[in-house]
Amino acid sequence: MPNLKSAKKRMQLSAAARAKNRSDRARIRTAIKNVRQATTAKDGEARLREAVALLDRAATKKLYPPNRIGHMKSNLTLFVRKLGA
Neighbours of 69 (CB within 10 A): 21
Summarised one tens digit per residue, pLDDT across range 22-40 is 999 999 999 999 999 999 9
Q: Helix (H, G, I), strand (E, B), or coil: what is residue 37?
A: coil
Residues 55 and 73: their CA atoms lie apart, in Å, by 8
Question: Residues with Cβ < 8 Å from 37, sequence gap 6 or more?
Answer: none
Could you tell me the pTM of the whole model?
Answer: 0.86
Give 65's DSSP letter.
Answer: -
With left for phi above 0 and alpha for psi between -120 and 50, is residue 26 left, alpha or beta? Answer: alpha
Share of the chain above pLDDT 70, in %: 100
Q: For residue 27, what pLDDT is reported?
A: 97
Q: For residue 15, what pLDDT is reported?
A: 97
Q: Could you list the pLDDT tens digit for every one of the 85 residues in the chain?
A: 889 999 999 999 999 999 999 999 999 999 999 999 999 999 999 999 999 999 999 999 999 999 999 999 999 999 999 998 7
